[in-house]
A and B are shown apart, each in its own frame.
Chain A
């Protein structure tokens, strides 16, 4: 299953360099995909580019990036020229620092990629870097130019490969104080702690991707299938799915509610 690499370059630790490739860890491929249609004709709608002055269609090979200098003044930049921008971080993930895995808070994690060797020549070097991070429980920090920005990135071992995370910039993460200042410093009621911990224990389970299924996508596919059948048979009206709406109630006595919760969990035999 060959996926075209999203990025190719080098992973570097001091004097050790190995060729690597990268692909996004997330993908839209399995999502129900819609095309845009023209309601009037039922034909596909396609987008193309036209010259803003002449109005004529512009061929894809004539589309080029422009860097704006003045109101109507642009400098054309070819992709090859941009490749040559004077930063080593366009092609090389040079690991500058290692830090214990748990010192990078999750809130800084932005986008994950899978990093793997791009050539048999680098497999051993790649594995050395990966296994040493693993045995030390460390993650590596580097710089990388990706989608026209230089990002701080974190690399961590994952199975046979490495997950590379772009990290958010300082001004992208909002100060939690603003949101949490009203909470106060007191800890939870110690009488209730055994009960809540009991409730949590009863409902604790192993992680499984089943927790992140998408019921809406399934329902859309159902609607599509119904319509497909309706193409052959006389149409049946689509019914809106019943809504399960447990009305949240404000519980005055948390202790009573907790006891009820634990009892309910025990009855369900979990």
Chain B
């Protein structure tokens, strides 16, 4: 069997202990449906050109250079080697600076996951770090130069190995508190909460992400076919928001209660009822016995 190619090789170091390790891409992006950009007037494909904003002449790639705007229209030019010099030289070491309780990890910082495994000889130290972190329920923070960029990584036990996740920088993650600051602080209690909990109970299942199917490409192909045949697809009914005054009733009906209530009024909330029943699409979740479990926490 061919052993997989490592994306990075170096050392992991905790305290005075270090051991050789390798990183392997754990997830890649598969392709999405590709559209071409056309010129509506001619139906021809368009292509991108880079031109000088003043002269309008095309600019060769070699002449394109980074500029930082200081005052209106004034730029500081940074040559590629100057930008590269800002990155420290790689010491090829994932030096663990701190451990963080798993319960405190903010997943919105996650960038890309890599499998982290021992490289060649001796995995005693690796196994020790893995099981030590597992027992302490922590993940490790390390910093190193990865692919010519300085990165912070979060390292956590995963099965027999470790996963190292590159993290976004502080300025790249929006504050959730700020994102939600305009919302009123509503706390739901009593019957509404109980009904919603009951509904959740009825929809409880497991989810296997690996079996999910993307229906978008087929739906676009259907759209194209309809267009060629001169048909137009039926307009989808716009969803209707539940009125606050009908919320409790909608919850009761969703929970399977209140169905016997006098006469089912056709409220904004239960207009959607039909849509739920006729939904023929495959459910997202497959009732599978063995669901994957996160092993870090």
Contact = CB atoms under 8 A, between A and B. Distances in A.
A207 B51 contact: no
User: On chain B, which size bracket covers the interface?
Assistant: 35 or more
A136 interface: yes
A254 B40 contact: no
Given A85-B219, A132-B197, A15 B273 contact: yes
Contacts of B228: 75
Contacts of B82: 223, 238
A244 B293 CA distance: 39
A240 interface: yes
Contacts of A102: 293-294, 297
Most buried by A among B67, B115, B138, B250: B67
Given A13-B199, A248-B13, A254-B128, 5 more contacts: A67-B224, A77-B223, A180-B117, A204-B98, A227-B76
Contacts of B78: 34, 220, 223-224, 227
A46 B20 CA distance: 46
B215 A189 contact: no
Most buried by A among B25, B87, B200: B200
29 contacts: A14-B250, A14-B276, A40-B63, A43-B52, A47-B50, A52-B44, A52-B46, A76-B40, A76-B43, A85-B223, A97-B283, A103-B292, A107-B163, A110-B27, A121-B244, A132-B188, A170-B211, A170-B212, A184-B123, A206-B101, A212-B109, A213-B170, A220-B86, A224-B76, A246-B93, A249-B18, A260-B15, A262-B15, A264-B15
Contacts of B177: 159
Nearest to B169: A214
Nearest to A220: B86
Contacts of A68: 34, 36
A153 to B, nearest CB: 9
Contacts of B170: 209-210, 212-214
Given A1-B178, A15-B272, A188-B128, A97 B223 contact: no
B272 A116 contact: no
Contacts of A219: 86
User: On chain A, which size bracket covers the interface?
Assistant: 35 or more
A226 B229 CA distance: 64
A253 B63 CA distance: 55
Interface in B223-255: 223-224, 227-228, 233-236, 238-244, 247, 250-251, 253-255
Nearest to A252: B122
The 10 closest A-B pairs by CB, nearest first: A261-B15, A170-B210, A14-B254, A132-B196, A196-B132, A30-B171, A161-B180, A37-B67, A97-B285, A188-B131
Interface string B68-99: 11100001111000110111110111011111
Nearest to B45: A52
B37 interface: yes
Contact of B49 (A10, A50, A96, A150): A50
A258 to B, nearest CB: 6
Contacts of A248: 10-11, 13, 18, 91-93
Nearest to B47: A52
A180 B124 contact: no
B269 A15 contact: yes
Contacts of B241: 10, 17-19, 119, 121-122, 125
Interface string A235-266: 00010110111111111001001101110110
A1 to B, nearest CB: 7
Most buried by B among A123, A174, A193: A174
B284 A143 contact: yes
B288 to A, nearest CB: 11
B75 A42 contact: yes
A193 B131 contact: yes
Contact of B184 (A75, A123, A129): A123
